[in-house]
Amino acid sequence: MEKRSFIHPDASAMRSPEHVMRLERMGSFHPMRLSFSRQLTRRMQQEQWQVDFPRFELDENGFGYAVIRAKTPHHTYSLVAFCHHIDDDMRSDRVIAEAWDATFTLFDGEPSLNQIKQMEQTVPVQEAGRQMPEQLSLSRANKSMRLFNHVVDALASGKQPDAKMINDVGYVMRTTAVYGNGKFGIADRKRIANRDGMMEPFQAEMLSVYLIRSFSLKWIEHMAQIRGGNNAVPLARQLARHMGVGNSTGLGMAPFLVNHPALLSNWIAVREQAIAIITSKTDIPDSAIQQIRALATRGMAYIEEWRVADTVQMDRIVQLETEWQNVIAWLEKRQNWQQTQPLAAICAWAQDALSMETQEMLYSIIMEPFGADIDDLCSDMSALERPVAANSCAVADMISWITRDYGWALDLDLNDPRQSDVFWYTSAAKLEPRLGKRYEEDGAEREMPFDIPRQIQSAMADLNQADKDMSLPRFMMAYPQHRFILNRVLVTINAPYGEIRDNLVADTTRPIDMLRCKLSFFGAAKFDPKSDLWTRICLFQGAPLIDEITDDIADNWLFSALS
């Protein structure tokens, strides 16, 4: 793909890590132009990918296998899907479930019949199987039985399904895990890390989910044809487009952001660079103004369709709905666009007057017309994570860095028991990350090292007592208990957005904010929290169908609404 020129803004024009890297704001992020799913469909459009079904071997009960093939200019990828019978009581959102309606693997190339037969024995058992090195991802999903059956029954009888029901649920299949990067014996990341189309983060996983969505749509039409025969009709295109893939995401995703500070920093930095580039513009073309206005109107329809049972999130949506009317009114006033930097002006106004939920949705909207300026920033979102050498550093240097970057941690009163109310650990039985109550539950001795402020304050106390000219390696030898946190500080020196600037073991911590941050970069929409610990979301809702990926819609589905 031809590279376009773009300009990195001055770092001083970007929002500061102190401002951005707060849980409440991170938990207000929305899908955006830079999201990984959008990167995928944009590339599919630009490179004219071709997607088809070379094999569809499902029987009259909907069981069997299928192959969905995606041909790029340089490579071919095949999602191999296996459909199984399971009892209703085995259908679960939990990642630790042991049976699923369908299991999938993304295969590098086109699998032979023998390879499919081999995967038929291993993919359905997921991590218990011996997977092949050509497999780039491993995933599983369950039907949303209520909507799946409703859609099939309606189509079989020659009618379209209920649009409201489709919007309320949003998908007929919900994944419980999409694994990549060498998990359970599948291909390691290095197999595709330098491959065109796979260099940016999570592209193999996003392709897997897009193809799962394509398979789910063909599956329901297959079942409708079996049941209805000549009476059956295909799903209306508008309804099909509104079908995404559901996902249930819990605490297992949250530690990723803590364990990969360099990668997290690159994601956030690219987003903040894009915002800085756009808000610095002094001449906004009429076409861009009209596009932003149209997207704001579409955004209102999206908000009106976003309804959840969680009272905290629903209160935020209600406030967003009210405030979004003010955003639309601002955008419609011609004189507002005559200011020197109109997009900076609206963002400054939003910062002072509107909630974080509204502010961050506004940032997603204003990015859309400026792909020529920001799309190439996506190439900076990967990270080669490696230890940082401390040989040339002294104690005085470390004190300076901690003072500069960790003032938020030094300022906390850790004598307050509320600042250490919870602890993160891995369940021995299920190997899942979990959150414990420190003063009520056992297990704190198995705590993950997420108590960053305590470690910072402890290290700083010993650093202040040490010889300021002492080399950092010598200090680490004298105080080995501080090695983890000091190495972390060394990483974040060049990863300013890599540290969440809140106490992750305080009683106010809401892991759901960490989940939403990461999921927004995937392109997830309509966050539906089920507690502070897990959420349901929808991916690829509004995205192009496989015969539309060469059309303009392939890069025009932000905040898609059914109405």
Mean pLDDT of 341-359: 98
> What single letter denotes the amino acid at residue 103?
T
Identify the pLDDT of residue 430.
65
Identify the pLDDT of residue 91.
63
How far apart are the two ends of the chain, measured CA to CA in Å?
A: 35
Identify the pLDDT of residue 5.
39
Identify the pLDDT of residue 248.
87
Using CA atoms in the order 231, 236, 239, 244, what is the torsion angle rounded to 10 degrees? 80
Number of neighbours of residue 12 by Cβ within 10 angstroms? 7
- Please give the model's pTM, rounded to 2 decimal places: 0.94
Is it the case that residue 153 has pLDDT exceeding 50? yes
Per residue in 111-146, pLDDT tens?
999 999 999 999 999 988 899 999 999 999 999 999
- pLDDT category, 48, cuts 50, 70, 90? very high
Identify the pLDDT of residue 388.
80
- pLDDT category, 92, cuts 50, 70, 90? low
Per residue in 243-287, pLDDT tens?
999 998 888 889 999 999 999 999 999 999 999 999 999 999 999
Mean pLDDT of 305-327: 97
Identify the pLDDT of residue 2.
39
CA 193, CA 362: separation in Å to the nearest integer? Answer: 33
Identify the pLDDT of residue 515.
96
Identify the pLDDT of residue 96.
56
Identify the pLDDT of residue 90.
65
- 71 touches 412 (CB < 8 A): no
Identify the pLDDT of residue 131.
94
- The helix or strand, by DSSP H or E, that contains position 536, with its residue range, turns out to be strand 535-539
Identify the pLDDT of residue 93.
57
248: β partners: 536
DSSP secondary structure letter of residue 13: G
CA 453, CA 66: separation in Å to the nearest integer? Answer: 50
| E strand map for 406-461 | 422-426, 433-437
- 412 touches 452 (CB < 8 A): no
| E strand map for 185-323 | 244-249
**Pairing between β-strand 171-179 and β-strand 244-249 as defined by DSSP bridges:** parallel
CA 380, CA 86: separation in Å to the nearest integer? Answer: 43
CA 496, CA 16: separation in Å to the nearest integer? Answer: 9
CA 475, CA 80: separation in Å to the nearest integer? Answer: 53
Strands laid side by side in the 135-143 sheet: 50-58, 64-71, 76-83, 102-108, 135-143, 171-179, 244-249, 535-539, 525-529
Is it the case that residue 319 has pLDDT exceeding 90? yes
In 333-415, which residue ranges form alpha helices assigned H by DSSP?
342-353, 356-367, 371-374, 395-405, 407-410
- 365 touches 296 (CB < 8 A): yes
66: β partners: 56, 81
Identify the pLDDT of residue 7.
47
Residue 485 has φ and ψ, to the nearest 5°, of -70, -35
Is it the case that residue 86 has pLDDT exceeding 90? no
Percent of the chain whose pLDDT exceeds 70:
96
Identify the pLDDT of residue 461.
98
- The helix or strand, by DSSP H or E, that contains position 39, with its residue range, turns out to be helix 36-46
Mean pLDDT of 429-433: 75
Number of neighbours of residue 500 by Cβ within 10 angstroms? 24
Of the candidates 535, 512, 546, the one whose C-alpha atom is nearest the C-alpha of residue 254 is: 512
Place of tokens 């890590």: 17
CA 470, CA 487: separation in Å to the nearest integer? Answer: 16
Is it the case that residue 95 has pLDDT exceeding 90? no
Identify the pLDDT of residue 550.
85
Mean model confidence pLDDT for the chain:
94
- 74 touches 1 (CB < 8 A): no
